[in-house]
Amino acid sequence: MIEFSLYLLFGAALGTLGGIFGIGGGLIAIPLLGVWFGLDQQIAQGTALVMVVPNVMLALWRYHQRNRIELRHALPLAVMGFCFAWIGSIWAVGIDAQTMRIGFVAFLVALSAYNLVRMFGARPAATSEMRYSWPWLGVLGAASGTMGGLFGVGGAVVATPVLTSLFGTTQVVAQGLSLALALPSTGVTLVTYAVHHEVDWMIGLPLAIGGLASISWGESRPRDAGKTPARAVLRVPGAVRGDARL
């Protein structure tokens, strides 16, 4: 019971941070589960997905209440994301845990560097029409799905900044399309990790409950992305929130 309460509080803290920074908690949870709880990298990723999947479902539902998602754009992202997340997750469960941890750290460094360049570099103007459609949306879905399946982050952290910088979408449109990508990709990744016994449900379930209970409170904190450099950097992969007020 004490351990359950501890995981519940940990999930609440992750949900709050995820809501504040717009990252859903997964990017924070995975390294903490590995370092503090001593979980192997794949188990840390699979366990974090137990919390991330319901957060993505909640975000997509909220987004759908406020905004419209173009099916012709979302479908290639979702289908390719699902297929390649499945491939990436199968690949992930067969890799040595230490190698996976090194790869995850390299992924975080590359993602942070890309977002820093975007934050301080010139930002292209958003357009009403997407610069590229099929087949490039399918390519983005495949790349994002692979990264999501491999590192257990859903792919939205890759898709959102690419959609705004290369495809010319607004942040709100990018969020909706990334959610459409994230839900099937996180779902199939969680199932694959679970089938291969890479999920600790006794930790993951209370994390999910605590995260769902607190993420809305975190979202209600100050939302101005320009208030701190850290918030501006971490805000980019905010597709897990479903909040159109950016």
pLDDT score recorded for residue 107: 92
Indicate whether 164 pLDDT > 70: yes
Count how many domains the chain has.
Answer: 1
Stronger pLDDT, 179 or 227, i.e. the higher one? 179
pLDDT, average across residues 185-195? 96
pLDDT, average across residues 169-190? 90
Question: For all residues of the chain together, what is the average pLDDT?
Answer: 82
pLDDT score recorded for residue 18: 64
Asked, for residue 206, whether it belongs to a domain, the answer is yes
Stronger pLDDT, 220 or 115, i.e. the higher one? 115
Indicate whether 9 pLDDT > 60: yes
Indicate whether 236 pLDDT > 60: no
Indicate whether 36 pLDDT > 60: yes
Asked, for residue 193, whether it belongs to a domain, the answer is yes
CA distances (Å), 190 to each of 63, 160, 200, in order? 22, 21, 11
pLDDT score recorded for residue 219: 55
pLDDT score recorded for residue 243: 41
Query: What is the 3-class SS of the chain, one letter each residue?
Result: CHHHHHHHHHHHHHHHHHHHHCCCCHHHHHHHHHHCCCCCHHHHHHHHHHHHHHHHHHHHHHHHHHCCCCHHHHHHHHHHHHHHHHHHHHHHHCCCHHHHHHHHHHHHHHHHHHHHHHHHCCCCCCCCCCCCCCCHHHHHHHHHHHHHHHHCCCCHHHHHHHHHHCCCCCHHHHHHHHHHHHHHHHHHHHHHHHHCCCCCHHHHHHHHHHHHHHHHHHHCCCCCCCCCHHHHHHHCCHHHCCCCCC
Asked, for residue 94, whether it belongs to a domain, the answer is yes
Asked, for residue 245, whether it belongs to a domain, the answer is no
pLDDT score recorded for residue 89: 96
Asked, for residue 43, whether it belongs to a domain, the answer is yes
Indicate whether 121 pLDDT > 90: no
**pTM: predicted TM-score of the whole model, two decimal places:** 0.83
Give the residue numbers spanning the domain of 44. Answer: 2-240
Indicate whether 58 pLDDT > 90: no
Asked, for residue 21, whether it belongs to a domain, the answer is yes
Asked, for residue 246, whether it belongs to a domain, the answer is no
Indicate whether 60 pLDDT > 90: no
pLDDT, average across residues 101-121? 86
